[in-house]
């Protein structure tokens, strides 16, 4: 007999933790969701990440010759923040959400969004920074892998690390774009090693805390 597909046991639509701007996110989300037109559904907002990624890569390519194209990159990052913040909340508000499809597509497209931004920087920056950008990609990707493995064990999806979440990362990208526009690519080259070092230290702390929590869960289960 096939197992019952019970969405009540799947917590992929819930996020645990908090971040610097979390309270602002909640206020903005709760204000906007009731005002979204009826023809627009949550899955539409989820899929909007695809054009935002294409715009980011295309505008970054154009920024190789004219750095002011980064304003368009920043706009696409902001719009992706809006659609990503509202998609799940809209589904819950109208009771039209697709929990498992939403979990899969939302987080797969979050991955695509992150790497579209980093690919954009790889297009803009001189070749000598390729290895640094590659290591930044690897570390930020490791944060995402940590979230998915943690969720598989605990059924609690965590997107916030050390009070930093998707909103703060997007804001950092927009700040970096603005600095490149006003101070040039050389400035970004000086900042990249610090971003890499900070990300690596943060990843080590997060992995240590996660494995310790899971170890304690295993030890508690053994005692029972």
In tens, the pLDDT along 12-62 reads 777 777 889 999 999 999 999 999 999 999 999 999 999 999 999 999 999
10 within a domain of the structure (yes/no): no
pLDDT for the residue 3: 47
Q: What is the DSSP letter of 125?
A: S
pLDDT for the residue 5: 52
pLDDT for the residue 7: 57
Question: Per-residue DSSP letters for 65-87?
Answer: T-GGGHHHHHHHHHHHHHHHHHH
Among the listed residues 86, 133, 138, 80, the one whose alpha carbon sits nearest the alpha carbon of residue 109? 80
What H or E segment, with its residue span, contains residue 193?
A: helix 185-223
pLDDT for the residue 2: 46
5 within a domain of the structure (yes/no): no
12 within a domain of the structure (yes/no): no
9 within a domain of the structure (yes/no): no
pLDDT for the residue 163: 85
Domain membership of residue 132 as a residue range: 19-223
User: In the numeric block, which tokens belong to residue 161?
Assistant: 């690390």
Rg (CA), the chain: 19
Structural domains counted in the chain:
1
Q: What is the mean pLDDT of residues 71-87?
A: 96
pLDDT for the residue 1: 43
User: Domain with 123 in it: what CATH number?
Assistant: 1.20.120.1760
Q: Please tell me which residue, 15 or 5, carries the higher pLDDT value.
A: 15
14 within a domain of the structure (yes/no): no
pTM: 0.88
Strands (E), 145-193: 157-158
How far, in Å, CA of 109 to CA of 166, rounded? 13
pLDDT in tens, 165-220: 899 999 999 998 998 898 887 777 778 888 889 999 999 999 999 999 999 999 99
8 within a domain of the structure (yes/no): no
What H or E segment, with its residue span, contains residue 106?
A: helix 99-124
13 within a domain of the structure (yes/no): no
pLDDT for the residue 8: 59
Contact 167, 27 (CB under 8 A): no
Among the listed residues 84, 89, 86, 108, the one whose alpha carbon sits nearest the alpha carbon of residue 170? 84
7 within a domain of the structure (yes/no): no
Q: What is the mean pLDDT of residues 118-144?
A: 87
């Amino acid at each position: 007999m096939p197992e019952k597909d019970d969405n009540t046991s799947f917590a992929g639509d819930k996020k645990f933790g908090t971040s610097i701007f979390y309270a602002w996110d909640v206020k903005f989300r709760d204000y906007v969701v009731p005002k979204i037109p009826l023809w627009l559904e949550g899955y539409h907002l989820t899929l909007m990440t695809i054009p935002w990624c294409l715009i980011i890569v295309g505008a970054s390519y154009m920024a190789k010759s004219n750095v002011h194209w980064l304003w368009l990159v920043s706009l696409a990052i902001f719009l992706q923040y809006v659609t990503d913040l509202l998609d799940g909340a809209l589904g819950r508000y109208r009771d039209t959400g697709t929990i498992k499809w939403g979990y899969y597509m939302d987080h797969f497209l979050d991955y695509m969004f992150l790497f579209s931004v980093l690919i954009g920087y790889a297009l803009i920056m001189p070749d000598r920074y390729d290895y640094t950008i590659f290591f930044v990609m690897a570390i930020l990707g490791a944060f995402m892998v940590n979230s998915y493995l943690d969720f598989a064990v605990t059924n609690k999806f965590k997107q916030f690390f050390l009070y930093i979440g998707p909103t703060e990362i997007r804001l950092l990208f927009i700040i970096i774009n603005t600095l490149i526009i006003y101070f040039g690519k050389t400035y970004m080259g000086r900042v990249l090693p610090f971003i890499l070092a900070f990300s690596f230290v943060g990843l080590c702390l997060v992995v240590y805390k996660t494995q310790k929590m899971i170890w304690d869960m295993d030890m508690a289960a053994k005692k029972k």
